[in-house]
Structure 1
Amino acid sequence: MKAAVLHSENEIIYQDIEISECQPNEVKVKVMAAGICGSDTHKMVSKWKYPLPAIMGHEFAGYVVEKGKDVTNVEIGDRVAAIPFIPCNECEYCLRGQFSLCENHGMIGSKSFGAFAEFVNIPAKNVLPIGEMSFEDAAMIEPSAVSLHGVLNIHPQLGDVVAVFGVGTIGILAIQWLRVAGVKEIIAIDISDKKLQDAMDLGCEKSINPLKEDLIKKIYEYTNGLGVDIAFECAGSKITQEQCLLITRKQGKVGYLGIAYSDVTLSEKAFENIFRRELTLKGFWNSYSAPFPGKEWMNTIEFVQQGKIKLKELVSHRYKLEDTQKAFNMMINREEEYNKVMIIPNEELE
């Protein structure tokens, strides 16, 4: 098959590669859409810590084209979304149903070959039927589930005022889920006016561009001097990771979805706010709960099918498989403003 193969940091070669036959418990998926995750691009400018050569791509959907002899849950020709996380089902956390905390998990697209390829072999229990949902929507079930995992576990209340830092894919999905959860007001915070407009179009009441406005002043202006009930950090920036602590009201909550890519040093004021304001800080990792893969995944499928969560509107760019390197260069060098970037390994036949 053809694949976009990673040989070193941001050195991706479009080449032929062998793919094995399905194991008894596996299916082979013909990949029709695969999203580039923000974590993928960060790994290209820091350090790739998994075996090389590698094939990235953990957000994907396609057709089942082959199945192992023990597979009974899907048939050849089924349209499916992939669950990239493979829990060990043996560690203490798996036995508790806390699959996101698994201590010995597999991961399609890093620990094993992923979806920037024409085909992927994956355990049959790691695919979900999608019916008539588009493949691009289905490829975004994974990031939607990540956002929902955070929203569900921060426990927003009716009437809450929430600030969302970073309105890329994860942030804009968090905004939609917060709207479903019944919060009163959402304040989008980003340094891109375009992304802020997208956030307003999808349900935010207010927005702030900290490059143009005093963030702290505007937040307290919007909240009658109290601060927000919940601050959601989705940007993965050490600046916004600290700012969350400066704008949250007494006994408010701070949720961290963005990954830390460098040391975070807190000002005295930010650190004091944690205990003087009795803040609750929570981190959220991955998107899984019991029964696996969890309500984050199943609710995403149901709410997308009902039209309550918008996914296709978030796709800004599409690249053919052979142009995967161009896609990464565009994102890493910020040659254009982008949101979700899709790799299309196989074209639909008319």
Structure 2
Amino acid sequence: MKAAVLHERNKIKFEDVVLPEVKADEVKIKVMACGICGSDTHKMQTRWNYPLPAVMGHEFSGVIVEKGENVGHLSDGERVVAIPFIPCGHCEYCERGDYSLCEAYTMIGSVQYGGFAEYAVLPAKNVLSIGNLDFENAAMIEPSAVALHSVLNAAPKIGDQAAVFGIGTIGMLVIEWLKLAGVKDIIAIDIAPEKLIEAKKMGCNYTINSKKEAMQERVMEITHGKGVDLVFECAGSRFTQEQSLLIPKKKGKVAYVGIAYSDVTLHEKAFENIFRRELTVKGCWNSYTAPFPGRAWTATIAMLQQKRLNLSAYISHRFSLQETQQAFDMMINREQPFNKVMIIPTIEVHES
């Protein structure tokens, strides 16, 4: 099959690869859409810790074209979404259903060939049926599940006020879930004007450009000096990771969703807020709970089927499989504003 193969740091070649044969408990799917995750761009530039060559891509959907002899609950031609996380099933955390914390997991799209390819082979337990959902919405289920997992961890209450740092794909999806959860006011915080315009269109009550405004003072003005009930840090920046501790109210919650790529140093005020305001600081990692893959996945599919979510609205660019390197270059070099960038193996020419 054809695949976009990573050979070295930020060097992808469109070439033939041999896909492993389908085992008794596996399925082979034809990939119809695969999103590029922000973590993909970081890993391939800075710290790729897996064997090379590799086929990345862990946010994908497709159609089953072959199944192993022991697979009875899925059918040829069934439309599915891939679940890229493969827990060991034996460690302490797997045994209690905290699959996201598995101590010996593997990932499709790093250790195993992923979705930047014409086909993918994966365990049958690692796909979910999507019914009649379109493939682009389905390829967004994984990032939506990550966002929902963080919201479920923070446990918002109807009428809460929340602030979201970083209005990329995950930040936007967190906003979607907060709205569905009944949060009253959502404050979107970013340094990109176009992101804040999108946040306003999504229904955020307030937006703050923290590069041009005094962010903390503005939040306190909005909340009458108290601070917000919930903070979601989705930017993965050492600046916003500290700022997230400056704006919660007493007994407030801070959910860390963005990955840290450098050391984070806290000033005295930020650190003191943790204990003086008795903040709850929550780490939110992956999206997997019991029964596997968990509520964040099944709820996303249900909301899509009920048309209460439209995840494909967050796709800004579409590239063919041959153009995967071009897609990464556009993102890494910030050649133009983008949101979710999608690889569509079935198209031959660039579409945007």
Instruction: Give the TM-score, by structure 2 length.
Output: 0.97
Determine what percentage of the aligned residue pairs are the same residue.
62
Amino acid of the structure 2 residue aligned with 1:27: V
Find the residue that maps to 1:318 and give its secondary structure: strand
2:74 maps to 1:74: yes
2:273 maps to 1:273: yes
**Whole-angstrom distance in 1 between the partners of 2:265 and 2:110:** 30
**Whole-angstrom distance in 2 between the partners of 1:326 and 1:58:** 18
2:182 maps to 1:185: no
2:333 maps to 1:311: no
Tell me by how many angstroms 1:309 deviates. 1.7
Structure 1 stretch displaced more, 319-328 or 39-48: 39-48
Name 1:214's counterpart in structure 2.
214
Tell me by how many angstroms 1:117 deviates. 0.5
**Whole-angstrom distance in 1 between the partners of 2:162 and 2:347:** 40
Find the residue that maps to 1:263 and give its secondary structure: coil
The 8 Å contact of residues 30 and 64 in structure 1, kept in 2 or not, is answered as yes
**Whole-angstrom distance in 2 between the partners of 1:50 and 1:25:** 25
Q: Deviations over 1:227-259 (max 9, x none)?
A: 111110001101000000011111111000000
The 8 Å contact of residues 150 and 284 in structure 1, kept in 2 or not, is answered as yes
Name 1:157's counterpart in structure 2.
157
Name 1:134's counterpart in structure 2.
134
2:282 maps to 1:260: no
**Whole-angstrom distance in 1 between the partners of 2:239 and 2:53:** 34
Name 1:12's counterpart in structure 2.
12
Q: Deviations over 1:258-290 (max 9, x none)?
A: 000000011111111111111110001000111
Q: Deviations over 1:174-230 (max 9, x none)?
A: 001011111111000111111112112222111101112110111011000111111
Amino acid of the structure 1 residue aligned with 2:39: S
Name 1:248's counterpart in structure 2.
248
The 8 Å contact of residues 87 and 105 in structure 1, kept in 2 or not, is answered as yes
Name 1:293's counterpart in structure 2.
293
Tell me by how many angstroms 1:34 deviates. 0.1
Amino acid of the structure 2 residue aligned with 1:334: R
CA RMSD of aligned residues (A): 1.0
Find the residue that maps to 1:45 and give its secondary structure: helix
2:8 maps to 1:23: no
User: How many residue pairs are counted as aligned between the two chains?
Assistant: 348
**Whole-angstrom distance in 2 between the partners of 1:332 and 1:273:** 35
Amino acid of the structure 2 residue aligned with 1:67: K
Amino acid of the structure 2 residue aligned with 1:209: N
Structure 1 stretch displaced more, 233-242 or 303-312: 303-312
Amino acid of the structure 1 residue aligned with 2:237: S
Q: Which runs of 5+ in 2 are unaligned?
A: none
Tell me by how many angstroms 1:20 deviates. 2.0
**Whole-angstrom distance in 2 between the partners of 1:129 and 1:253:** 35
**Whole-angstrom distance in 2 between the partners of 1:98 and 1:140:** 23
Tell me by how many angstroms 1:151 deviates. 0.2
Q: Which runs of 5+ in 1 are unaligned?
A: none
Find the residue that maps to 2:32 and give its secondary structure: strand
Tell me by how many angstroms 1:21 deviates. 1.7
Q: Deviations over 1:50-96 (max 9, x none)?
A: 11110100000001011111111111111110100011111111110
Name 2:61's counterpart in structure 1.
61
The 8 Å contact of residues 32 and 347 in structure 1, kept in 2 or not, is answered as no
Runs (4+) of structure 1 moved beyond 3 Å?
A: none
Q: Deviations over 1:137-166 (max 9, x none)?
A: 000000000000000111111111100000
**Whole-angstrom distance in 1 between the partners of 2:222 and 2:155:** 22
Tell me by how many angstroms 1:111 deviates. 1.4
Amino acid of the structure 2 residue aligned with 1:66: E
Find the residue that maps to 1:245 and give its secondary structure: coil
The 8 Å contact of residues 176 and 203 in structure 1, kept in 2 or not, is answered as no
The 8 Å contact of residues 97 and 289 in structure 1, kept in 2 or not, is answered as yes
**Whole-angstrom distance in 2 between the partners of 1:292 and 1:65:** 23
Amino acid of the structure 2 residue aligned with 1:18: V
